[in-house]
Structures are given as structure tokens and as C-alpha cells.
Amino acid sequence: FKQRDLQFQPSGSPPSLLQSASPATSLKEHSCRALLGPDGRTPGLPQNLGMTIGQRGSLPSQLSTTSAGAVGKLGLTGGEMDEGDSGFMKLKPASEDVVSLAPSATESVFVEDVQFASLRNELETDAREFAAQSWSLAVEQSYVKQQERDVIKRQDVIYELMRTEMRHVRTLKIMLKVYSQAIREELQFSNSDIHRLFPCVDDLLELHRAFLFQLKERRKESLEEGSECNYIIQNIGDVLVQQFSGKTGNKMKEKYGIYCSSHSDAVSYYKELMQQSKKFQNLIKKISNSSVVRRLGVQECNLLVTQRIMKYPVLVERIIQNTEVTTKEYEDLTKALSLIKEAITAVDTKVNESEKQQRLREIVTKMELKSSGKFKNGLIFRKEDMLQRRLLLAGMLYWKAASGRLKDILAVLLTDVLLLLQEKDQKYMFASLDSKPPVISLQKLI
């Protein structure tokens, strides 16, 4: 055999989003006030994690040391797309916020101010807490000048971790509490259809809201006595270890595995709906124009979510670079980095398996209706039997026939058999190769 092409091509890198920055002049004031709520306490973790009925709706950075396989398979590269940098959710005049999501006046009318008031306030509160672009701008300048350069660098990266986590939670809220809920209520989509568009987004929101709450609690605990905004976080590694280990860590692997492996199908389904359903198209257009989502479309949201888990190693590595080696914090951060990479590898494995099974289904669909082949011992192998196995590898080979002529052969390696297929009239059939069996058992080859 001469191998011609046995590789799956990684998916393309997603485009970057336009980003905007809030004016720096008022950032410090907003950030200081946001650390403590109006009653002098840090805003707590919302009680309802995931889907809420009373509100309208919510619902893959190249790593310097992360497994190259995981990065390549997910098809994600760092810094290409982020969750948006603007700190404030800007309010529109009331007249601009009244948006009908229905295609005609006879159908239900979607009023943004009424339906999104609670969510808008929630998002604005989150944004105000992290309005500053960096820790250096969030605390008082006199306080910054008292710190060593390494301390400032470390705090800036920790702040970036918290700020991007806030934006990630915002993205998940928009998916679950805007798009998902509106599609369910306005178009009467079933739970399975919603899950196909936004796989397990409610579970991801629950995981990340809890994580963001822990990060904010650590910030609150680190406040200087008598100050509302000056703080230095001494330890963050233990919070990261908690998020990526044990029950929570397993749930992160599971839910991101489902989400990332379902990404291609979600994109295809969305495009199909946009092409075939005028009502769906109008609904998405009107939602995306509302100020609460700020033109963050379904496709952009999906890409941002697939990218998030790939960003953690880069941030943690930068924190480690500005942490003393002999400390417990360094040990915790190193452990957290290992756990994060382990999670990424698990997600990558799930994506890999999903892609291969999809490829196997495509091959079976393309085969002749009653196509079958024989083992060397004469036993029949039908195309239906292929779906009872897992695809390990598929690619084109050249088979040199007795006549010296080279034939194009699709080799399909399953868990216990190797299949040799030929294409004719855009259909696959079991190959006829000089009386050689097209189905080869692997059980006795080792």
C-alpha cells in the first residue's frame, strides 16, 4: 500500500470580534464602588443558576506549553476572538428599545425594555465591577506606586482572568436568557432543538457563574482595611484548582466536551434555519439589533464559548511567571495548569471521536444500498455493520493491481476490521481487488 492521505483537516480559526474600550477617566471610580455593593457588601451569587422562567431568555489561543494535539484538533488559536472589551452596557432611549420580534403586527410583540430590564441591570452591574481595563487602573494610583513591578504584573493578569470570566458569563447569559428563551417562546422550539442550537449552555452558565463568584469573593477578602477598591490578591491558585478538579472539574470536561463536539452541528443547524425559516431569520435579526446583546450574534457567541477553555492556560502561565517559585501559591498554580491542560485534552478527545463518527456516517450514507463484502472465510459484512463499530482512521490509498495499474481505494479502519472501498458513480462499494477480500479481520493480525 502507498499512503496518500490519512489525515483529518483541522477546522479554520474563527475571526476576531471588534472590540471597544470605555473611557479611562471614570474607570477607577466605577471599579472602586463596584467592589462593594450599595449596602457595603459584595454582590452575592445569584440564586437561580441556569434557566429562569421569569426572565426573557439565556442560555474552539495557541498555548505555549499546552498539548499541541488539543490545540490543533479544536482549531482554536489564542487572541483571535475575545468576549468584547467594553466595560459598560449602554442604554438606548426608550423609543429605540421597543423591538418587535414577530414578523407581523398580528403576532406577539417583543418589548425589550420590559422583557430585558432585569437582565440589562444584571449585565450592567457585572460590567461596572470590571469597568477598568486593568488592575493598575482599577485601584488608586498612589497604591499602584507603592507596589513592586512583579506584583503589578501579577495583579494585572489576575484582573484580566476575572474580567474575561465576567465577559464569558455575559456571553452565556445572552445565549440562555435572550436567544434561547426567545426562540423557545416566540417560535415554540422543542427542548431538543434548543439543545442542538445551544448545547448544555445552562450547565456552562452555572459552572462559570459559580467560578466568577469565587474569584470576586477572593478579591473582596483581599481588600485593604478601610479601602473600597485597593487590594492585592495573594493566592488564586487554590480557586483554580477547585474549579478544574473533583466533581466540578469532571463537569467542566463533560460539558465542554459536549459543547465543542456539537459545535459543527450547531453551526450547520443555525445556517439551515436561517435559510429555510423566515420567522427564525427575522427573530434573530431583531434580537441581534437590541441593545442588550449589542450585536453579539449566535455564531459569535458559539465561537466565544468554544474558545474560553483554551484561554485559561495562557492566563495561568502568565500568573506563574510573576509568582515566587518557592511558595504554596506557585505549587497550586502549577497544579491548576496541569488540570486545565488535562481538561483540554479530554475535550479534544471528545471532539476527535465525534468528528470520526460523523465521518463514518457520511461514508455509510454514501454506500450502495445493499452493499456488502466478504471476509476471507466467506462471512458476510454489510454496510449496517459499520455503524456498530468506531472509526479509527479513514483515508485514500493506492492499490497496485496485478496488471500494474494503480487504483484509488478508501481504507476504513474500524475497531476490529479494515475495509477497502471503491467509489463509482459517487457511491462507495466494497472493492474488488484481484480476488482479495475487501474486509480484513484484525483480531488475528497481532
d(CA 431, CA 427): 12
Looking at the domain assignment, is residue 321 inside a domain? yes
Q: Is the pTM of this model over 0.85?
A: no
Residue of 236, 238, 230, 30 whose CA lies nearest to 135? 230
Looking at the domain assignment, is residue 205 inside a domain? yes
CA distances in angstroms from 405 to 8, 361, 409, 436, listed in the order given: 27, 30, 12, 16
Are 265 and 388 part of one and the same domain? no
Looking at the domain assignment, is residue 46 inside a domain? no
Looking at the domain assignment, is residue 246 inside a domain? yes
Cell of 364: 455509510
Are 251 and 391 part of one and the same domain? no
Identify the CATH number of the domain in which residue 437 sits: 2.30.29.30
d(CA 125, CA 136): 21
Cell of 401: 493491481
Q: What total number of domains does the chain contain?
A: 2
Domain that holds residue 422: 367-441
CA 200 to chain centre: 11
Identify the CATH number of the domain in which residue 243 sits: 1.20.900.10
For residue 134, the one-letter residue type is S
DSSP 371: -
Are the CB atoms for 165 and 237 separated by under 8 Å? no
d(CA 225, CA 286): 48
pLDDT confidence of residue 112? 55
pLDDT confidence of residue 59? 35
Are the CB atoms for 60 and 262 separated by under 8 Å? no
Q: Which of 328, 358, 388 is the last residue of a domain?
A: 358
DSSP 384: G
d(CA 236, CA 165): 14
Q: Which of 358, 386, 417 is the last residue of a domain?
A: 358
Q: pLDDT 10s per residue in the chain (446 long)?
A: 444 444 444 444 443 333 333 434 444 444 454 455 444 444 444 443 333 333 333 333 333 443 434 434 444 443 344 554 433 333 333 333 333 333 333 334 444 545 677 888 888 888 898 999 999 999 999 999 999 999 999 999 999 999 999 999 999 999 999 999 999 999 999 999 999 999 999 999 999 999 999 999 999 999 999 998 999 999 999 999 999 999 999 999 999 999 999 999 999 999 999 999 999 999 999 888 888 887 789 999 999 999 999 999 999 999 999 999 999 999 999 999 999 999 999 999 999 999 998 899 899 988 887 788 888 887 888 888 888 889 999 899 888 877 778 888 899 999 888 999 988 888 898 887 777 888 888 886 65
Q: Which of 302, 336, 358 is the last residue of a domain?
A: 358
Are the CB atoms for 381 and 443 separated by under 8 Å? no
